[in-house]
Every structure is written in structure tokens, then in C-alpha cells.
Amino acid sequence: MKVHNLGFPRIGSKRELKFALESFWQGNSSQNALEKTASNIRRDNWQLQVNAGIDLAPVGDFAFYDHVLNTTLLLGLVPKRFRDIENDIDREFAIARGKQTACSSCAASDMTKWFDTNYHYLVPELDAETEVKVNTQRLISQINEAKSQAVNTKPVIIGPLTYLYLSDYKNGNKLDLLDALIPAYQQIIADIAKTGCEWLQIDEPIFALELEKQWLDAFKTCYQAFETDDIRILLATYFGDISQHIECIKRLPVAGLHIDTVTEPFDWQSIVTQLPGHWIISLGVIDGRNIWKTDLVSVYQQVNPVYRILNERLWLGPSCSLLHSPIDLMLETELDKELNSWLAFAKQKCQELDLLKDAIISQNTETITRYSAPVLTRLTSPRISNVKVRQRIDSLKPTDFKRSQTFSDRKIVQQQALNLPLFPTTTIGSFPQTGDIRAIRAQHKQGRLSSLDYQSEIRKEIAHVITEQENIGLDVLVHGEPERTDMVEYFGEQLSGCAITQFAWVQSYGSRCVKPPIIYGDVSREKPITVEWLKYAQSLTRKPVKGMLTGPITILSWSFVRNDIERSVVSNQIALAIKDEVADLEKAGIGVIQIDEPAIKEAMPLKKSRQAKYSEWATKAFRLCSSSVKGSTQIHSHMCYSEFNDILPVIIALDADVLTIETSRSNMAILSVFDEQPYPNDLGPGVYDIHSPNVPEQRWIKQLLDKAIETIPIDNIWVNPDCGLKTRQWSETKLALSNMVSSAKELRARYSSISASN
């Protein structure tokens, strides 16, 4: 029996890749230095996995930016606007971040969520003239690199059907391109086979979706073409129940199948009995997406009967790639002993697999019984329950989930209160966080800066942000969030029932890493979180300053959440905490409050049959936050990098007065969803991509707004960037926002008479 891994975090235990990338992008280090850092991370990752007991370590799971982009480069499917860039690394980062020359700007490829995770991938851009040019050099080099370190490897690639399914193709049926991809994948498989690897893992996570017949038929056509005696293919599925597609899967000419037994409850044992008798069966029995220690005794009881049937044909692995997990719990020296005993990060998950393997082979459960003891004590620990929170949840009434006035009535009183012009301008919340600001926060946290001095420094930065916004001419201002490390971590630090780690970083996209809070108990707010900062900001200007909060679904989704109660209950607990903050902001005179929900789509179950229940409790949680405010208080929400087609009814049901969304990377194409069902309230389509260093020209912004006007009534359009400006530099931020405001003013002059006549 083998223990293997599907993928490992690529950022490095101390985010070495992040810092190397950003240094390279800023021109402070060479490509050789970047590649050296990457090589060191791969070496450390392989050694860590081998030391933890992994028999087959993945290779090909490393990426400078994104593994889907890696596949695009592997296939040579570079968008036309980037093909003139000769250097491979420069081309890769241009696709991911955009490029800018003296005379023109090329937008980065669109970016969206990887299934229902908080990881973002670069959407492949395909067209009818797609020409495949396979280049396996980087992958083969990494395979040889692992072999030189005596690592028993299993190369990993994304399968052709998943790649096509996730791509952007506007010329008809995506499957029309399969004929071009099949020979390309045949070449890739042949090149990998020449390295002497016994196994190749091909990831096809779309099997967790409800696929149409044409896609299932395509699997048969495709994988028959891959049949070879030169290398054995392990088909890897994850993120959900695959039982509805088992008739298709079991007929594929592969040598093994990986099954995620964790994400969704289903009878995976019966599936195992239906599979070909010569297949390797890999069971994903350790949760690859959360941080809770596994009850290995319980898993043993489920897996041991299968082992008695399969013997050496049984492999054990995590449910999915450990990309979504922090790296090593041993780095956490500040978590209390009890909480620490409940957790397992990527390294520890590999060790869990080895412990389970030993117990199954030896038929001795003594070691895993001792290991699993904290899992049981967690369920009865007094620190996970709060009687007051549970009583408050139980006392909720239908009126707690609905505002008392309709949007049309609210819009009238809000306009009277705010007196905003046509095409009002605002930002999404954060402003550039300089090294000085980060140093101030760090010094305060380390006790080297007093609370009074810290407050003084943060107030200086807020005053600076307010002054810059007034100089630029924005209509609704923000305080810039200099006190916040991250939009979720900041609130996790303030809420009871949550813990914050030192090094539990996970990759969100590129060099962007987040440190999710751990929600281990009932959630409550003990005191106001943002009120004093917002009161101070509002005192500096006559323009409205927007209160900035993170919504309950996003806090839920971007945290490591307890798994002993329903997620819907946790979301309502968070919503009540945010509701209290909203009420205090309103009392403090803040008339515009934004409750961000960028995770509302990713939290939705992948299968449509399970989405209605989620939609109900998710929308109720958001409305619970804002239902008690006055009609004159304007509630905003923000969403980014999500496809809205499937969730438009959910978005409408939120009943936010203003919704701001990411649209610039798609060139406003995402607004087409509103053609059939218009958004009834105000809408702010993002007019420039803040994840790119490009400064948008006024003509670019205006042409985007002209497209927006074709879909959205002019009285309902807001003008804003795609997302927060935290990662940008001040110089580019001021120029970009100035161009944005100038564009809005031009449109305002053009359409003011039309709006007045209406």
C-alpha cells in the first residue's frame, strides 16, 4: 500500500516565493535569483514530504503564479497580445499581471475562483484559431530535478477536459477544441514517460460537477487516445461526490482512480466495488482544505475493510492538493497548547497518512488512538460554546432578515442625505499599505510601540488618505484601512471564538497570501471594531466616508471553520457580530456602510442540486447584518472574481443598495448576465484592474463605462476600481484614480441633462 500526495503548498514555509516574486517584479532581483528560490522551495517540499512518510511526492504542482497558467504555457496557448514577449518568465507574468508599453496597455488574463476555493486561477483564453505548441521543458526539468534528489515522484498535470471546461471560448462549443488538445496531451504524456516515471496523475476535478452527456462522452474519446504501456495514469477527482459519473469513469482506460471521501458525504465504498479489478484505488481520507486533526480511528474503521479487499491496490492520500492548507504547525509557537492539539497543517497531514498506513498494515490501532484523542476532547471543550450566542440565534425572527423599506424608497432618502452626483465615484476600501504602515503595525503587535503612539500613527495615515481622496475628487471616501492586515484576519483578531496564527499562510493568487483565522467556537463581538477609526475619518471631511466591513459568508469562507456544527449556524453567529458593528457605525454618524461579500459565489456548493439550501441561508446571513438600519443609511457590498450567472438571484436577494463588482479583466463581458435579469439596485462595475501595475488611460475607462451604460441605467451606475488598492503603489494609485474621476466627470457632463429630464 502506498501513501501519496496530490500537491503541496508552493509559497514556502515563510512565504519565500512571495518575497522573491515581488522583488523580481520591482526590478530588485534577477530571474536567476527567482529561479533559485523556486528550486529551493521545491527541494524543501519534496524532502518534507518524504520525511513525513510520503511514498510518491508530486512534481509539476509548483507554479510561479498559477498551475492553470502553467498548463496554458505547457500547451503553448499564449494569448495573441503576449506572443511578442520572447522571455518565458516575462511572458508568464504579463499574462498574469498585464503588460504596459510606451504606447499601449495589454490587460492581464481574466482571473476567477478555482471551483469553490479561495484560490484564483488565470482563465485560459481560447479561440477558433487556437494553435497548440507543446513545451514540456519546464516540467521535464522539474521531474529530473526531483530524481536527482532521490525523490520517488509522480508528475501532476491538469486534464484536458477540466482545462477546456474552465477556459474562456467565445466561438461556440469548447469541445470543438478537443481534437487539437488530444495530440498535445499525447506528446506531454510521451515526454513524461521518457523520464522513467511509473505514474502520471491527471487531475479532472470537473467530475465533481453535474456534467452534460457531451462532456462525459468526450472523456471516453479523450482517454482512449491516452492509453499507453509506457506510463500508468492515475485519474484524480476531488472537491465532491463522483458517484453520478461512475459509469463513465469505470470505462476509462486508466490504471487508477483517486476519490475524495471527505468533501461530500456519499457511499464511496460501493463505488470501489464497481471499479475494474486491476485498478489502483486512491482514497482521499485526510481533509486537504481544513486544519483540523483527523480522527484516524474513525477513518481506520472505514478504510480497513476496503484494504482487506484491495490489499496493495489501495493507496491513501489527502482529499485534494494540500495547496489550500498551511505548511507546518510546528512553526506556531503562540497558539495555546489545547488549540494546537486540535490542528494539523500540510506536513502533519502527510504524517497522518503515514500513521494510518502503519495502523492498517499492522492492524494495530494503539498509535492512532493516542493521536486522535484531542479530536474527541475538542467536541466537549467548554471554550467552543457560548450560551448567550446560542440563545440569540434561537431568538431570531423573520423580521430580522429584511429591511423595512423598498430600494426605490430608500434611494430617495439616501440621495437627500448624501447629495451625490450622477456617476458617483468611490473606491472599494483599502489604499496602498506601505512598508512604513506595515512596520507600525508590527511594532505595536510586538510591544515596541505604545497604543497611544500606534493610534497617532494610524490617524496620520487616515488623514493622509482622506486628503488624497479629496484632492483626486472622489465622491464617497474611505479611511484606507491602514490598521488592517487582511479583510478577514482583521475581524478574526477582534471576534471571540476565533484564533489567529503566525505562519498559517495559504496562497490566494500569485504572490498574494492570506492567513485565515481559525473559527474554533461560537462567534461574538465583545466591543466595537472599526467605529473609532471611521468616526475620526468622517471628522476630517464633509464628504461621506464609507464604513468598511467584511460580510459573514466571506469571513466564514476565508477562515478555517469548525466542522462540528452546520456552516449556516456559524454564518448567522458572524452576521450578528457584524450587525452589532453596523448599528454602532450608524449611531456614530456613518451613513454609508459597505459589507463585502466576495466569497458568496465560491461558498456555493458545486452541484446545482445542493445550491438552493445554501442560497437561502447565505442571503439571510447578509440581510441579518443590515436589516435594522434606517432607510437613509446606504448599504454597499462588493464582489470580485466570481462568475455571476448562476448566482444572480442570490445577489439580488441580498438587497444591497449598491453592489460593486469586478468587470475590467473581462472587458465588461460579465455584465451580459444582467441583460436577461437587470440588477434592480445601483451597480458599480469595476473600471480598472487593481491586480495589475498598469495605469488605465481615460479612454480605456470611458470605453468600459460606455459598455456599462448599454446594460445599466445611468442613474444606477457607480464608478470604482475592481477591488481594494492595498497592493498598489501610491504613485500609480493617484494617477489611476484621477483618470477614473476625470472619466466620470466627462460622462456626468454628457448625461446630466438626460438624467434631469428623466
* Segment 331-362, tens digit of pLDDT: 999 999 999 999 999 999 999 999 999 999 99
Query: Is the pLDDT assigned to residue 514 strictly greater than 50?
Result: yes
Beta bridge partners of 454: none
As annotated, the residues of the chain forming the CATH 3.20.20.210 domain(s) are: 2-380, 412-757
d(CA 653, CA 719): 22
pLDDT tens for 638-657 read 987 556 767 888 999 999 99
- Residue whose C-alpha is closest to residue 190's, from 224, 226, 222, 165: 226
**For the whole model, what pTM was predicted?**
0.93
How far is CA 307 from each of CA 56, 65, 311, 360, rounded to the nearest angstrom?
A: 19, 38, 5, 8
Instruction: Specify binding-site residues for Zn(2+).
Output: 638, 640, 662, 723
d(CA 77, CA 131): 7
Percent of residues, the chain, with pLDDT higher than 70: 98
3-state secondary structure 148-165: HCCCCEEEEEECHHHHHH
Query: Is the pLDDT assigned to residue 756 strictly greater than 60?
Result: no
Q: What is the mean pLDDT of the chain?
A: 94
Positive/negative CA dihedral, 287, 321, 196, 235: positive
Helical (H) or strand (E) element with 371: helix 366-380
Q: How confident is the model at residue 100 (pLDDT cuts 50, 70, 90)?
A: low
Helices 698-709, 730-757: crossing angle, 10 deg rounding: 40
Q: How confident is the model at residue 671 (pLDDT cuts 50, 70, 90)?
A: confident
pLDDT tens for 50-72 read 999 999 999 999 999 999 999 99
Q: Which residue has 466495488 as its cell numbers? A: 273
What is the topology classification, in CATH, of domain 2-380?
TIM Barrel (3.20.20)
Any residues with CB less than 8 A from the CB of 477 and at least 6 apart, and which? Answer: 426, 466, 469, 470, 537, 541, 543, 544, 545, 546
Tell me the average pLDDT across 309-329: 97
Instruction: Specify binding-site residues for L-methionine.
Output: 428-430, 481, 596
- Residue whose C-alpha is closest to residue 508's, from 246, 120, 248: 120
Beta bridge partners of 256: 234, 280
d(CA 159, CA 235): 9
d(CA 606, CA 263): 11
d(CA 637, CA 619): 12
Query: Is the pLDDT assigned to residue 103 strictly greater than 90?
Result: no
pLDDT tens for 147-163 read 999 999 999 999 999 99
How far is CA 569 from each of CA 394, 523, 563, 609, 614, rounded to the nearest angstrom?
A: 10, 10, 11, 21, 12
pLDDT tens for 547-571 read 999 999 999 999 999 999 999 999 9
Percent of residues, the chain, with pLDDT higher than 90: 87
pLDDT value for 752: 81
Tell me the average pLDDT across 533-538: 98
Beta bridge partners of 603: none
- Report yes or no: 303 and 368 within 8 Å, Cβ to Cβ: no
Q: How confident is the model at residue 102 (pLDDT cuts 50, 70, 90)?
A: very low
Helical (H) or strand (E) element with 525: strand 518-525
Q: Which residue has 449556524 as its cell numbers? A: 569
d(CA 361, CA 55): 15
Query: Is the pLDDT assigned to residue 106 strictly greater than 90?
Result: no
Ranking 98-102, 284-288, 311-315, 715-719 by mean pLDDT, the lowest is 98-102
Backbone angles phi, psi at 203, to 5 degrees: -85, 125
Beta strands per DSSP E along 526-604 = 546-550, 560-561, 592-596
Q: How confident is the model at residue 262 (pLDDT cuts 50, 70, 90)?
A: very high
d(CA 439, CA 168): 41
CB atoms < 10 A from the CB of 706, how many? 11
Query: Is the pLDDT assigned to residue 310 strictly greater than 50?
Result: yes
CATH architecture of 412-757: Alpha-Beta Barrel (3.20)
258 is catalytic: no
CB atoms < 10 A from the CB of 27, how many? 7
The side-by-side arrangement of strands in the sheet containing 314-318 is 2-3, 314-318, 280-286, 256-260, 232-236, 199-203, 153-158, 57-59
Helical (H) or strand (E) element with 448: none
Backbone Cα Rg of the chain: 26
Instruction: Specify binding-site residues.
Output: 15-18, 113, 118, 428-430, 481, 512-513, 558, 596, 602, 638, 640, 662, 723
d(CA 500, CA 515): 8
Tell me the average pLDDT across 662-667: 77
pLDDT value for 663: 82
pLDDT value for 221: 95
Q: Which of 120, 245, 324, 691 is catalytic?
A: 691
Any residues with CB less than 8 A from the CB of 704 and at least 6 apart, and which? Answer: 663, 664, 667, 668, 685, 687
Residue 758 CA, chain-centre distance (Å), reads: 42
pLDDT value for 675: 80
Tell me the average pLDDT across 222-226: 97
Ranking 96-110, 219-233, 338-352, 367-381 by mean pLDDT, the lowest is 96-110
- Amino acid of residue 14: K
Query: Is the pLDDT assigned to residue 167 strictly greater than 80?
Result: yes
Instruction: Specify binding-site residues for 5-methyltetrahydropteroyltri-L-glutamate.
Output: 15-18, 113, 118, 512-513, 558, 602
Identify the DSSP state of 356: H
d(CA 181, CA 279): 26
pLDDT value for 201: 98
CB atoms < 10 A from the CB of 687, how many? 27
